[in-house]
Amino acid sequence: MPLPASPLPASPLSATICLYCGSSSGKDPAYREAAANLGRFLAREKIRLVYGGGRVGLMGAAADACMAAGGEVIGIIPDFLLRHEVGHTGVSDLQVVDTMHERKMRMAELADAFCVLPGGLGTLEELFEVLTWRQLGLHDKPIILLDVANYWEPLVQLLQRQAEEGFMRREHLALLHRASSLSALREALLLSLSAPTATRSKLA
Ligand code: AMP
């Protein structure tokens, strides 16, 4: 019988993960299931979840499951999206800010790592913002694509093409991790969060 996974060591246990994902659920039920599984995983590992504060789509599925499993969830939502995205009043702390920029900056500042589930344009924008900040050396927080049904494959191929065609340095491909299961995500977090944190808190 396999041994139960040991909890993450001291520093990742107190980590905060910022989740970017769809405000829609997508067509395949596997997307919602993956979001809920991630929420439960974070609660189990005592990792705090920071996300955009909505209760719809994959955002809501992850937050609901994390809360139901006893986790801590911080939602950060701009005032104008509060009604539009149906802000989640059932999370541990719903913070209302004035602008999208303020929201994204606060989410990024609170995070020790970024995790990205399938999503739409908003998810891509959020991913590429922290990825380009990382490329510029403004922070060194890990950024992990959590793959469901190979959703991120075309994006990874595009990035590889950018490197092949000379629009991106090849070593920058390594700034984006890809995990296709929660155990792979756990490994990626263990590796990256236990590394020295020279610039991890620097975000500007
Ligand atoms: P989506 O992936 O398009 O469903 O959006 C996921 C999240 O990204 C939601 O919380 C949206 O509020 C947010 N979002 C949508 N559009 C943008 C944008 N232009 N800039 C930043 N965030 C966005």
Give residue 197's pLDDT band: very low, low, confident or very high (50, 70, 90): low
pLDDT > 70: what percent of the chain?
Answer: 89
What average pLDDT does the structure give for the chain? 90
> What is the best residue among 100, 132, 133, 145 to mutate for testing ligand 1's pocket, by most ligand atoms within 8 Å of CB?
100
Ligand 1 close to Cβ of residue 23 (< 6 A): yes
| Angle at 21 (CA atoms; ends 103, 75), nearest 5 degrees | 40
Ligand 1 close to Cβ of residue 102 (< 6 A): no
113 by DSSP, 3-state: which? strand
- List pLDDT tens digits, range 57-92: 999 999 999 999 999 999 999 999 987 877 898 999
Whether the per-residue pLDDT at 169 is higher than 60: the answer is: yes
Domain boundaries, the chain: 21-192
Q: Mean pLDDT throughout 46-60?
A: 96
Q: Are 47 and 13 in contact (CB under 8 A)?
A: yes
Distances (CA, A) of 204 to 98, 104, 138: 18, 12, 7
The one-letter amino acid code at 6 reads S
Residue 185: its pLDDT value, please?
A: 95
- Spacing, Cα 1 to ligand 1 middle (Å): 43
Nearest CA to ligand 1 atom 19: 122
Residue 203: its pLDDT value, please?
A: 52
Residue 204: its pLDDT value, please?
A: 43
Whether the per-residue pLDDT at 43 is higher than 80: the answer is: yes
> What is the best residue among 32, 123, 148 to mutate for testing ligand 1's pocket, by most ligand atoms within 8 Å of CB?
123
- Spacing, Cα 123 to ligand 1 middle (Å): 6
Alpha-carbon span 107 to 45, nearest angstrom: 20
Ligand 1 close to Cβ of residue 119 (< 6 A): yes
Residue 122: its pLDDT value, please?
A: 97
Contacts 24+ apart (CB under 8 A), 27-33: 28/148, 28/149, 30/148, 30/149, 31/58, 31/117, 31/118, 31/148, 31/149, 31/151, 32/58, 32/61
Residue 19: its pLDDT value, please?
A: 98
Q: 107 or 195: whose pLDDT is higher?
A: 107
Q: 41 or 204: whose pLDDT is higher?
A: 41
- Spacing, Cα 4 to ligand 1 middle (Å): 37
Whether the per-residue pLDDT at 176 is higher than 50: the answer is: yes
| CA-24 nearest atom, ligand 1 | 4
- List pLDDT tens digits, range 133-157: 999 999 999 999 999 999 999 999 9
Ligand 1 close to Cβ of residue 60 (< 6 A): no
pTM (2 decimals)? 0.90
Nearest CA to ligand 1 atom 12: 122
Domain 21-192 belongs to what architecture? 3-Layer(aba) Sandwich (3.40)
Residue 128 has, within 13 A of its CA and on its CB side, a CA count of: 10
